[in-house]
Structure 1
Amino acid sequence: MGVTIAFGIQKGGVGKTTTSAITSYLLSREGKKVLAVDFDSQGNLTQFLSMRNIYDFTKQTVLEAVKEQDARPYIHPITENLHLLPAEDFLSYFPAWLRDTYRGKGDLNTVLRETLAVVKDQYDYIIIDMPPNLGDHTINGLTAADYAVVMLQSEKFCYDAVDRYLEFLIDGIKAKTNPDIVLAGILASMTDSRTALDHSILEQAREEYQDLMFDTVIKRRSRIKEYAVTGLQDHTKSDKEALVQYYEFIRELKERVHQSR
């Protein structure tokens, strides 16, 4: 049965979707069967991996999947090993659907988990990209996950958000909806090593969170920004220099998953 990993933090613009996309892509390049689940109504993961407009997937998305509690009809192959459960902006109606239509039919917090359970044994990894909030999408995403990766951009607002997110994960999700979830770690992303503030926040995080921090630090690179336009590639020297840090992160992530199982 596959390992489900959710990437999140209640702060936008911290590299969460980019990391989810590249992690999914590189794991699939290693020969692993990967399902990338876009659970953010912005649909950026869908755009990133498919290189298509999110409205190409209207009525063929994760929203329809959760309504039917069956992901299978809505999975779109990107490559042989990489599949996508896409999203577009109607996913923003998920909380209203839970309360207006689904209430009384089952647990509001486990809808995504039950939806993915149908296909979990078909994949080595299921990667969930969650929105920057602590609402129903995030509750369902973390309840569906075996492991959580917390994103930390080295700036004050994101640093301040980490403590609240960990409290939400431990006191909320682990205590009430998913006792088996494991915190894989905190990943520093979009770091500019040239600035003193980035360095200071990263050092402060390492001091406070210690072994919870991944050793890998994802640094800003212009080539990574270009992938949103060109699609993910691993051909040139520039590609390899940009992606090496994600390879290091994946190595660490797999080690942590292996050690906890």
Structure 2
Amino acid sequence: MAAPPHWAITTHKGGTGKSKLIELIAAAAAENGDSVLVVDMDAQANVTRRLRAQIPVEPRDRKDASLAAVLQRPAKGEVERILVKSGWGGIYTDRITIAPAHLDLELLALTASQAASSRRLLTALAGVVDDFDLVVIDTPPNLLSHLIDVAWTASDLLWVPVEPEYDAVEAAKRVVQRVGEDADMLNPDMQVGGFVVNRFRSNLKLHNQRAGEVAEILGPDALCPTRFPELVVLKDGSEHAKPMAELGSDGKAMAALASDAYAWMKQRGAALMGAAA
């Protein structure tokens, strides 16, 4: 059985909706009948909380039940011992599984000089991922870090959330630049899948201009045609750790957009990986 695609949601700028995009994609995958493994490689653990990962209550027990413990020196497939289900209930609990993050993930940088250290997540996931249709990896909002190296080494495709603002567009360009410079040292088959515009206001000329600039980075085919508007319901979902579909009419509309974005990502991802094979 072939391993499922491994997607990293990555950016070089905080506040662009990276963790929110992972929530939306995980929910859309579940709603469309796919089983998804969410690997939280961001030490902030926002995705772990927002998906209501069923982690230990006692703080002292959380590290041992997280990637921070597994990735110190992982055995093949060891991530299986920490996997937990989403606490959203229903199809989400049935189809969303999380490898939880912990603050001590930042200490993984101390092992960067050890042999094959960037392959640790890949080793920990080996075999375990065969039970899933998709693996989605959250990454910290930076580029030059050991956690990024570990996450990218385990990734087939990188998807970049972008605010339609100057700094975020420049940050997206830097992701592409680093992939071009360093992919051979991490994962020669890794590609940038494309860009997803968040917090978009269609009535703003500047936002439309910036979206056009994103389309120029890798060409218009790499820009998701679905643009997520800036709505309060997105913040509500994150604050209360609930899926969009449970948050009234605005939430259902956002869930529909997420489903469209997920369909595009699957189609484009399959085409890119097929072309690279």
Using structure 2 for the length normalisation, give the TM-score.
Answer: 0.86
In the other structure, the counterpart of 1:249 is 261
- Contact map agreement 1:72 1:118 (CA 8 A) in 2: no
Tell me the SS of whatever aligns to 2:228.
strand
Rate the CA distance shift 1:98–1:225 in 2: closer, same or farther, 3 A.
same
In the other structure, the counterpart of 1:109 is 118
In the other structure, the counterpart of 2:132 is 123
Q: Which residue type is aligned with residue 212 of structure 1? A: A
**What per-residue deviation string (whole Å, max 9, x for no partner) do you get for residues 47-74 of structure 1?**
1101778947332111112124210111
Tell me the SS of whatever aligns to 1:80.
helix
C-alpha separation between the residues in 1 aligned to 2:203 and 2:42? 32
C-alpha separation between the residues in 1 aligned to 2:244 and 2:224? 25
In the other structure, the counterpart of 1:163 is 173
In the other structure, the counterpart of 1:205 is 214
In the other structure, the counterpart of 1:95 is 109
Q: Which residues of 2 match residues 43-122 of structure 1 at below 5 A?
A: 43-50=45-52, 55=59, 57-69=62-74, 70-78=78-86, 79-99=93-113, 103=114, 106-122=115-131
Rate the CA distance shift 1:51–1:120 in 2: closer, same or farther, 3 A.
closer
2:24 is matched with which residue: 11, 22, 26?
Answer: 22
Q: Which residue type is aligned with residue 271 of structure 2? A: Q
Return 5+ residue gaps in structure 2 as ranges.
87-92
Identity %: 21
C-alpha separation between the residues in 2 aligned to 1:76 and 1:52? 6
In the other structure, the counterpart of 1:239 is 251
In the other structure, the counterpart of 2:161 is 151
- Contact map agreement 1:12 1:132 (CA 8 A) in 2: yes
C-alpha separation between the residues in 2 aligned to 1:51 and 1:223? 21
C-alpha separation between the residues in 2 aligned to 1:140 and 1:208? 25
Rate the CA distance shift 1:58–1:162 in 2: closer, same or farther, 3 A.
same
Give 4+ residue runs of structure 1 displaced > 4 Å after superposition. 51-56
In the other structure, the counterpart of 2:89 is none
CA displacement at 1:43 relative to structure 2: 0.7
- Contact map agreement 2:111 2:117 (CA 8 A) in 1: no
CA displacement at 1:136 relative to structure 2: 1.0
Tell me the SS of whatever aligns to 1:234.
helix
C-alpha separation between the residues in 1 aligned to 2:193 and 2:125? 20
Rate the CA distance shift 1:196–1:51 in 2: closer, same or farther, 3 A.
farther
- Contact map agreement 2:54 2:85 (CA 8 A) in 1: no
CA displacement at 1:23 relative to structure 2: 0.6
Tell me the SS of whatever aligns to 2:39.
strand
C-alpha separation between the residues in 2 aligned to 1:168 and 1:258? 23
C-alpha separation between the residues in 1 aligned to 2:202 and 2:62? 39
Using structure 1 for the length normalisation, give the TM-score.
Answer: 0.91
C-alpha separation between the residues in 2 aligned to 1:240 and 1:42? 27
C-alpha separation between the residues in 2 aligned to 1:68 and 1:51? 23
- Contact map agreement 1:184 1:257 (CA 8 A) in 2: yes
- Contact map agreement 1:71 1:118 (CA 8 A) in 2: no
Return 5+ residue gaps in structure 1 as ranges.
none
Rate the CA distance shift 1:51–1:195 in 2: closer, same or farther, 3 A.
farther
Tell me the SS of whatever aligns to 1:37.
strand
Tell me the SS of whatever aligns to 2:178.
helix
Q: Which residue type is aligned with residue 63 of structure 2? A: T
More strand by percentage: 1
C-alpha separation between the residues in 2 aligned to 1:208 and 1:77? 37
In the other structure, the counterpart of 1:186 is 195
